[in-house]
A and B are shown apart, each in its own frame.
Chain A
């Protein structure tokens, strides 16, 4: 399974944009990039996913490098409720498996 590398922690001020990086230098052509987040005392929740093109949804944007070896999750205006651990996960659609391999994620702290 391809691995991802994320910073252990980041801080942001409330109402400012946040860019959460993820490196995945061993990504294969059939790996999708998924982002989940885990708020305190809750299970993870889906944020966004993409393959090659940048993606936007109501929660965030996902910017994928042209060589796909890195990606960035963008929260456009951080709120206190965005404080969570953010996980960048690769899932190989060609492998026939549906499991996620989570790393340790990035703990985002949002300052009021």
Chain B
């Protein structure tokens, strides 16, 4: 079990560019979550998937953000036309369904810096 992995670990981009992050969950986990964390704050929920279905989206997820999980395995989070306010750590987590209080396992995050 290699845990949740995220790539890249760091991304620096210029304002207005598009970026895409990838998350590989723990292999048997069918739920996948994206969170965003800014300095000094706790993670904020963005969206989550059960298998390939996107079941919940936060109001934080503006129309510039899109997330996919095409085959119910890895997921991508794309930010279009990045803004400086998008600079943050983007965290992915996964969990297994079938247990009401299944813990979420978090990846190390992708740190995005928008110049």
Contacts and interface: CB of A to CB of B under 8 A. Distances in A.
A99 B33 contact: yes
Interface in B92-115: 93, 95, 100-101, 103-109
Interface string B34-52: 0100001111110010000
B22 interface: no
B42 A104 contact: yes
A99 B108 contact: no
Interface in A1-52: 32, 34, 41-46, 49
A65 interface: no
12 contacts: A32-B101, A34-B101, A34-B103, A43-B107, A44-B93, A44-B104, A93-B101, A99-B33, A99-B45, A99-B58, A100-B104, A104-B42
**Majority-rule SS of A interface residues:** loop
B43 A100 contact: yes
Given A85-B42, A93-B100, A104-B40, 4 more contacts: A42-B109, A87-B42, A99-B45, A103-B42
Contacts of A97: 56
A93 B48 CA distance: 16
